[in-house]
Amino acid sequence: MSEITRFTALAEKAYARSGTVDMEALEQGMRAAAMKDGAVALTALLRTIADHEPGPVTCPRCGVAMESHGRRSKEIITLLGEVIIDRAYYGCEGCEGHLHPKDLLLGLEHTSFSPGVRRLMAKSGARESFARAQEDLVDYAGIRVDAKDVERVAEAIGADIATREELTRREAMARPFRAPGEPVPVLYLAADGTGVPVTKKEAPGRKGK
């Protein structure tokens, strides 16, 4: 029996007994049930996805063929709730490195949060306090994470964005500059802001800034 079917049956019995309806409770309960069913379906789908293409797995560090060491399970938090994935584990005798190819494929390397959850954590953490972001994620998406995790994810994604922007800037500066073929007839300058700071002497008789 699915969680949605189970919750619907319980809700119908509760209504038959009391004759009253708590719409918000129905919404939250149905969302939680739908997420649980979705997590089960997502788990089943992830099992069908191959860890890597057929053939040996090459070590990303030294290029040596890696040796299989069985499989390892991993619990991750997704937009649908907690999901457990099973993936192959490889070790390298050359540099003693290790690798889970499926983690790379799914964007889960060195993290227990799915890409969708990390995106929400970064957005909410960038706009307000991490503790408030933790509360909002529960209210808006039903996702329960620690405030410290929100902080780590938001800072890591912010650092990655800064690195990418710096790389883009360097690439742009490295390109050869081409002067315009004709002179620019008119140059427009614009200032974007809500006000210009001035002293009191510069704005006599005016209120505010």
CA distance 107 to 103: 6
CA distance 69 to 54: 17
- Domain interval for residue 67: 51-111
Task: Specify if 198 maps to a domain.
Answer: no
pLDDT at 17: 92
CA distance 149 to 26: 30
pLDDT tens for the 209 residues of the chain, in order:
899 999 999 999 999 999 999 999 999 999 999 999 999 999 999 999 999 888 888 888 888 889 989 999 999 999 999 999 999 999 998 888 889 999 999 999 999 999 999 999 998 988 878 999 999 898 888 899 999 999 999 999 889 889 999 999 898 888 887 777 788 788 888 777 667 777 778 778 777 65
pLDDT at 183: 80
Residues 13 and 38 placed together within one structural domain of the fold:
yes
pLDDT at 75: 95
Task: Specify if 14 maps to a domain.
Answer: yes
Number of folded domains that form the chain: 3
